[in-house]
């Protein structure tokens, strides 16, 4: 472990490891400090969907960035497999959103028309076309949209592959130690403190998920809070082709032989437990989408804490007053989608390189300048 790294990253979830890989690729000596992972960490709990068209709407300033983020994985997946031997399970065959009601149908039609005008690859599917793709789907389905380039990956595999790749490029990992405090002297970060040591560093990136605001010595309060999401695993219906289906507030995707079904959006503090009501609402949607799931046993159920912000957008960038303190946190529902892009952005900003995109939607200062 380098005694005085150029940069310390606090947290080795999807965001911290992606930042580590991108920075180490540019020759920065990086130390990742990871407390746990803590129970409730978002990355291992995540569904791993890459769903910019499904999960952002036309007014969302994140849409273009999210599409770019999704597309990065097409090159990254084979690169990570070559480097680390880990297959991140990239699925690129689209996400289907179906309508159960006339109201949902109208909304989807409007959205797909707009997406097509913008040049995004979205296809309207009739009930017959949907049943060709998914013979076991709810028989009275009214129609749906295929976001043809949206997809998914396996978040645990991504996390591990990013970590291994970062380490192969020279990054180090200090596992099982929590950063309790940032040391800031004369307007610069000089070190971080854990329970057992003080580690000097040239800079730090806060990538501690929903716990980011809990570190002492931050120059200002961070608007990041835990937003719980619950998930359930069942057997994927026998004979049903693989796919990802959204319906109302819920979704289902095939991973391995399992149907992963989600989710909830709950503001309940740092409690990573599942609830009967949460699981019941997820199962109700899943079993409506594929009636064959009715009565099938739950194989696993779990929850994770998304790092949420008041406007739902991440904070990626520099502190307004401490020039060597960086934030890469608050990714909410999109942290797997945005992980690789966040790493690239942080590494570019750190190197002082020009940015390809308008990063103002991500600017951490937006919460402190009003
Ligand atoms: C149920 C659910 C479903 C989701 N589905 C999707 C999806 O389909 N697509 C998508 O893009 N996103 C999804 N997300 C969101 C995504 O998982 C998160 O946005 C992303 O994982 C956040 O990554 P992170 O690295 O910021 O946080 P985390 O993964 O929580 O990692 C933070 C790490 O920091 C460590 N840490 C905390 N404090 C300290 C400290 N003081 N010192 C050292 N280490 C510390 C923790 O132990 C943890 O390992 C989902 C989330 C949930 C919960």
H helix runs in the chain, sequence order: 14-25, 42-45, 52-55, 63-84, 102-117, 127-133, 155-168, 276-289, 335-350
Interval 321-346 mean pLDDT: 97
Q: In ligand 1, which atom is closest to the CA atom of 180?
A: 41
Pairwise CA distance, residues 226 & 41, whole Å:
10
Q: Quick one: pLDDT band at residue 58, thresholds 50, 70, 90?
A: confident
Q: Which residue has the tokens 């020759």?
A: 27
Calculate Rg over the CA atoms of the chain. 21
- State the DSSP code for 217: T
Instruction: Output the six-digit token pair for 308.
Output: 């949420």
Residue 300 has pLDDT above 90, yes or no: yes
148-162, 259-273, 326-340, 352-366: range with lowest mean pLDDT: 352-366
Query: Does any ligand 1 atom lie closer than 6 A to the CB of residue 48?
Result: yes
Beta bridge partners of 266: 228
Q: What was the pLDDT predicted at 355? A: 84
Query: Does any ligand 1 atom lie closer than 6 A to the CB of residue 43?
Result: yes
Q: Which of 44, 148, 13, 162 is nearest to 94 (CA)?
A: 148
Residue 9 has pLDDT above 80, yes or no: yes
pLDDT in tens, 91-102: 999 999 999 999
221 neighbors 206 (Cβ within 8 angstroms): no
Q: Which of 325, 319, 330, 317 is nearest to 359 (CA)?
A: 317
Query: Does any ligand 1 atom lie closer than 6 A to the CB of residue 15?
Result: yes
- Identify the structural domains of the chain with CATH numbers, from first to last: 7-49+155-224+310-367 (3.50.50.60), 92-151+225-308 (3.30.9.10)
Q: Show Cβ contacts of residue 176 under 8 Å, excluding neighbours closer than 6 positions.
A: 34, 35, 36
Q: In ligand 1, which atom is closest to the CA atom of 49?
A: 8
Interval 277-302 mean pLDDT: 97
48-62, 172-186, 209-223, 310-324: range with lowest mean pLDDT: 48-62
How many residues can be counted in the chain?
Answer: 370
Interaxial angle between packed helices 335-350 and 155-168, expressed in degrees from 0 to 180 and rounded to the nearest 10: 20
Query: Does any ligand 1 atom lie closer than 6 A to the CB of residue 333?
Result: yes
C-alpha neighbours within 13 Å on the C-beta side of residue 324: 20
Residue 1 has pLDDT above 60, yes or no: no
Share of the chain above pLDDT 90, in %: 93
pLDDT in tens, 84-124: 999 999 999 999 999 999 999 999 999 999 999 999 999 99
pLDDT in tens, 172-226: 999 999 999 999 999 999 999 999 999 999 999 999 999 999 999 999 999 999 9
- Kindly report the pTM of this predicted structure: 0.97
Query: Does any ligand 1 atom lie closer than 6 A to the CB of residue 37?
Result: yes
Q: What was the pLDDT predicted at 356? A: 82
Query: Does any ligand 1 atom lie closer than 6 A to the CB of residue 42?
Result: yes
Coil, strand or helix at 109:
helix
How many angstroms does the Cα of residue 43 sit away from the middle of ligand 1?
4
Q: Cα dist. 285→263, 268, 274, 367 in Å?
A: 10, 22, 17, 36
Residue 57 has pLDDT above 90, yes or no: no
- CB-count exposure of residue 353 (10 Å: 0-12, 13-18, 19+): exposed
Helix (H) and strand (E) counts for the chain?
9, 19
Instruction: Output the six-digit token pair for 188.
Output: 């610069």
């Amino acid at each position: 472990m380098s005694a005085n790294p150029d940069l310390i990253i606090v947290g080795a979830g999807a965001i911290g490891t992606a930042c580590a890989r991108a920075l180490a690729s540019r020759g920065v000596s990086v130390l990742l400090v990871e407390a746990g992972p803590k129970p409730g960490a978002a990355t291992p709990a995540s569904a791993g969907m890459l769903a910019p068209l499904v999960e952002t709407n036309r007014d969302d300033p994140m849409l273009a960035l999210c599409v770019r983020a999704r597309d990065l994985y097409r090159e990254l997946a084979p690169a990570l497999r070559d480097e680390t031997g880990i297959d991140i399970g990239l699925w690129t065959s689209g996400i289907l959103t179906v309508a159960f009601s006339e109201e949902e149908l109208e909304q989807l039609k409007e959205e797909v028309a707009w997406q097509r005008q913008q040049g995004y690859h979205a296809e309207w599917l009739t009930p017959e076309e949907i049943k060709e793709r998914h013979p076991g789907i709810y028989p009275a389905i009214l129609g749906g949209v295929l976001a043809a380039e949206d997809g998914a990956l396996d978040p645990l595999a991504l996390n591990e592959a990013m970590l291994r790749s970062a380490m192969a490029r020279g990054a180090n990992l200090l596992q099982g130690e929590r950063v309790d405090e940032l040391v800031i002297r004369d307007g610069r970060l000089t070190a971080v403190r854990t329970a057992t040591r003080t580690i000097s560093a040239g800079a730090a990136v806060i990538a501690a998920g929903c716990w980011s605001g809990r570190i002492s010595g931050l120059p200002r309060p961070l608007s990041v809070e835990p937003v719980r999401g619950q998930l359930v695993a069942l057997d994927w219906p026998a004979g049903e082709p693989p796919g990802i289906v959204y319906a109302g507030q819920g979704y289902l995707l095939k991973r391995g032989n399992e149907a992963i079904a989600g989710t909830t959006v709950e503001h309940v503090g740092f409690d990573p437990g599942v609830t009967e009501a949460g699981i019941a609402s997820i199962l109700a949607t899943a079993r409506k989408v594929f009636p064959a799931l009715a009565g099938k046993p739950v194989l696993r159920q779990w929850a994770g804490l998304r790092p949420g912000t008041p406007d739902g957008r991440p904070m990626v960038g520099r502190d307004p007053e401490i020039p060597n303190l960086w934030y890469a946190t608050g990714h909410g529902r999109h942290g797997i989608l945005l992980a690789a892009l966040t790493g690239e952005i942080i590494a570019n900003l750190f190197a002082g390189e020009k940015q390809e995109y308008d990063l103002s939607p991500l600017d951490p200062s937006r919460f402190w300048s009003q």
